[in-house]
Amino acid sequence: FDFFSKKNDFSGRKVLITLGPTQEAIDPVRFISNHSSGKMGFAIAKAFQQRGAEVFVIAGPVALDLSQKGFQVTHVSSAKEMYAAAAKLHANIDICVFSAAVADYAPLEAAPEKIKKQDAELTLKMVKNVDIAFELGKLKRQNQIHVGFALETENEEFHAKAKLDKKNFDLIVLNSAREEGAGFRHDTNRVKIFHRDGKTFHSELALKSEIAELILDEVKKAPVWI
Ligand code: CTP
Ligand code: CA
């Protein structure tokens, strides 16, 4: 018997992970989205599962085979759909990881038919999407842990800490945006993690699978866990 094994340190825990981008329809054949691959969220989902958790994945459109892993997967497209799926599960979840790159704005309404090319300019009216992490943060119970993500291009730590506060996260993972080999589409990443109580952690550049294990270790340092 291996007393030091991490294998089942999350057994009995229910974990919800949002991952990937969202797509916001312009018309039946076009959308607005972003470059999120969902790889970091997928790595976190795998790590939780390997360490014994029951894993619920809410995935935007990604080129990942989520069916292989035995997760309970809900596929969504828009931010609105992602929010509905997450809100439905939230009450029964112990740990929520908000790794999705949710589109901040969506077209006011999707055109019912394909928009025909007309003038030299096209103006699209956009409205702000629901902030999933913020809304669920308001419902967070004492014994729930919320993990947020941030990707910033300037004043990184300041913005990340502001989001930690605003969205009621217990910890936030700051992705390095400026570094070669980290973030969107890459298999490697470097992160800084800020806890609500002031603890911080800085990782090396490492495989997303390794970063995922480190994030799980940090989750266990949240005061609610102990
Ligand atoms: N998030 C979310 N729903 C949204 C937007 C963001 O759940 N509509 C979550 C992300 O999954 C992430 C965290 O909130 O965990 C921070 O996302 P980010 O885009 O960095 O924050 P925003 O509040 O959208 O601020 P910004 O103007 O910097 O994009
Ligand atoms: Ca945003």
Which of 44, 13, 40 has its CA nearest to residue 218?
Answer: 44
The ligand placed nearest to the CA atom of residue 133 is 1
Range with the poorest average pLDDT among 78-87, 90-99, 165-174, 179-188: 179-188
Residue 34 annotated as catalytic: yes
CATH number of the domain at 14-103+126-219, please? 3.40.50.10300
Q: Is 208 annotated as a binding residue?
A: no
Residue 7's pLDDT is 82
Tell me the per-residue pLDDT of 116-146, one tens digit each, with 9 for 90 and over. 999 999 999 999 999 999 999 999 999 999 9
Say if residue 87's pLDDT is above 90: yes
Give the residues surrounding ligand 1 with Cβ less than 6 Å away: 79, 98, 100, 102, 104, 129, 131-133, 148-151, 163, 167
Q: Is 128 annotated as a binding residue?
A: no
192-206 burial code (b ≥16 CB/10 A, e <16): bbbbbeeeebebebb
Residue 68's pLDDT is 81
Q: Measure 207 CA to ligand 2 centroid, in angstroms.
A: 24
The residue from 34, 168, 175, 189 that is catalytic is 34
Tell me the per-residue pLDDT of 159-216, one tens digit each, with 9 for 90 and over. 999 999 999 999 999 997 777 777 666 788 999 999 999 999 999 999 999 999 999 9
The ligand placed nearest to the CA atom of residue 151 is 1
Residue 24's pLDDT is 98
Atom of ligand 1 nearest to the CA of 99: 11
Which of 42, 5, 67 has its CA nearest to residue 212?
Answer: 42
Which of 156, 220, 217 has its CA nearest to residue 182?
Answer: 156
Say if residue 1's pLDDT is above 80: no
- Complex ipTM value: 0.99
Residue 93's pLDDT is 98
Pair of tokens at residue 105: 């704005």
Atom of ligand 1 nearest to the CA of 100: 11
Q: Which residue do the tokens 């799926």 mark?
A: 85
Which of 148, 157, 152 has its CA nearest to residue 222?
Answer: 148
